[in-house]
Amino acid sequence: MEFTWNCPRCSAIARSAALESRAELKCPECGYDRPIAAGSIAAGELAACAYCASTDLYVQKDFPHGLGLAIVVVGLAVSTLFYYFDMPFWTMFVLILSAVLDFVLYKYVPEVTICYRCLSQCRGGGSNPGSRYLPFDLAIGERYRQERIRAEELRSRAAEAEANRADSSIEPQAR
């Protein structure tokens, strides 16, 4: 399995190969490392997020966003051209070809398992053992999105309080 995560120190997107046989995640950019979350790997398979230990994970097709759409749009444009030149066979042929291409691509593109909480991604055999992880659930996703917003607010408020403390130590009479 390959594990993709966001380095908290330098914000780089770090990739760690062979997740099942390593003990730590190490950022190749800044050297930051942390042990793999306890219990995240069981029998060589992903049991929880290797970064934050959350068991709320979802799967989606590992498909570049827009590629499927691009196939449909290009197919439609080309078939419109054939339609314009009064070539019904080629009009239908291109339409059907783009639909088939879209379907085949969707069917054979592998899945990626993603953590709702920290958005780390896991690819490869064992990343969705027994198909236990389900597609994205809006309600769960929203809960974690709100959690991220709150965490961000707390962080900025703490930074503000820190800045105020620094101010007041310079000018104590101002308080």
* Contact residues: Zn ion, CB under 5 A: 7, 9-10, 12, 27, 29-30, 32, 49, 51-52, 54, 115, 117-118, 120
Nearer to Zn ion, 147 or 167 (CB): 147
Kindly state the DSSP code that residue 158 receives in the 8-state scheme: H
Nearer to Zn ion, 29 or 142 (CB): 29
| Shortest CB 54 distance to Zn ion, Å | 5
- What phi and psi values does residue 59 have, to the nearest 5 degrees? -115, 150
Nearer to Zn ion, 32 or 83 (CB): 32
| Shortest CB 148 distance to Zn ion, Å | 11
Contacts of 122 (CB under 8 A, 6+ apart): 1, 2, 3, 4, 19, 46, 50, 57, 112, 113, 114
Contact between residue 34 and residue 98 where contact means Cβ atoms under 8 Å apart: no
| Shortest CB 51 distance to Zn ion, Å | 5
Nearer to Zn ion, 49 or 59 (CB): 49
Residue type, 39: G
